[in-house]
Structure 1
């Protein structure tokens, strides 16, 4: 019957997508673990991976080094110098969906469509105080100095200058502590926020799955290979 062919195509698409997610979780990237000589010296840097059902962020400590590395955060009005500020939190995502959907109750058709197809990207930067650990949605890592510097460089390179400067996108913040910035690269369902997080963690010397489009797959691969 004619209606069976579309069903077969749909089943094939669903099976392929499921297989890709599973394979992307359980095939490590890189395939072989890197040497950990720099962590053996005792000098390490603590980072956090924060997850919700659809998105992951990376948190790095606020200190003199990170404030000097990202001076435009304070210049944008973020309270990085507040005495209770402890962490800088970074996430990458699709411009329309990320900016226009601070909560599920505010989901709109156009940002959702762009989030499922193709969109320009933005960086969301936030300031956090003490983050309580352990927690189900938080994973922490101690990484060596070389990996930490590569991570900072990767995050810095993700910001896109506008007229020669990195500056916040006007009137886009969720609250007083956060800002959105133009980012490099295009967002899609294949290359999304969680694949950005995974790539950043690989720069830090960690191993992820080969393709981690979902927080659950990224979390699973991090636990398996680190």
Structure 2
């Protein structure tokens, strides 16, 4: 029993040490080159929404996001709902993500799959006004080209059949789950997907960000120029 406890403690310490190191090593390793343009890039706001274990990316619902993600409307996402202002995306393990809408719903098997290997899903949700001063919100600005690259990455994370997606479940009336590319595991999970999406959009993150707290810290450390400015 003592050896087992010692082994578990060592694994926890290694995880913490690796997470700390991953937070303070920036990716890309070199600063991305500035875009060659005489025109001032148009700032576009995005939000990173966090809870203790998971992060989502929120994009403003405008003509460009509606055009990019119009395929979701055919699958039941109410993109044109009059109160919708933000389109929210998250990637995660199918069993844990879909079967655990709240901590009270936690079950052993989804937890086990979430700690090992599972199929992945995309979760799509809608939101009205979001208070960007809340501690669970990390607001950032990027330019048009970065936004389009990020949207391409997000759209490319869905599994499609005949160029269409189909809802496989939901928590409520305004969200949907969809089959996603990739396999989920505890080392490379929802927050590393978020980090990859952000890097595709020209931002820098830590080398490895398994938890929301390390991702938020790396974003603040390596992207001071992307401070959100409210209109």
TM range (shorter): over 0.9
Helix, strand or coil at the partner of 1:158? coil
The equivalent residue for 1:191 is 188
**Contact 1:48–1:141 (CA under 8 A) maintained in structure 2:** yes
Aligned to 1:150: 149
Aligned to 1:91: 90
Matched, 1:24 2:22: yes
- CA offsets 1:159-210 (integer angstroms, 9 cap, x no match): 00135521211xx211111000000000000110000000000011111110
In 2, Cα distance between the equivalents of 1:79 and 1:13? Answer: 44
- Return closer, same or farther for 1:7/1:129 CA change in 2, 3 Å cut-off: closer
Could you tell me how far apart the structure 1 residues matched to 2:85 and 2:34 are? 27
Assess if the C-alpha contact under 8 Å between 2:72 and 2:165 holds in 1: no
Q: Tell me the residue number matched to 2:54.
A: 55
TM-score norm. by structure 1 comes to 0.93
Q: Is the 8 A contact 1:38 1:145 kept in 2?
A: no
State the Cα distance separating 1:104 from its structure 2 match. Answer: 0.4
SS of the equivalent of 1:125 reads: strand
Quote how far apart the aligned CAs of 1:145 are.
Answer: 1.8
Q: Following TM superposition, by how much is the alpha carbon of 1:83 offset from its aligned partner in structure 2, in angstroms? A: 1.7
Where does 1:1-226 land on structure 2 (aligned, <5 Å)?
5-37=3-35, 41-162=40-161, 164-169=163-168, 172-226=169-223
In 2: Cα distance, 1:8 partner to 1:143 partner: 45
Quote the offset at 1:36 in angstroms.
3.5
Distance 1:105 1:145 in 2: 41
- Counterpart Cα distance in 2 of 1:34 and 1:205: 7
Counterpart Cα distance in 2 of 1:23 and 1:173:
36
Change (3 A) 1:109 1:8: closer
What is the aligned length? 222
Alignment partners' CA distance in 1, 2:172 and 2:2 = 50
Secondary structure of the structure 2 residue equivalent to 1:132: coil
Shift of residue 12, structure 1, vs aligned partner: 2.9
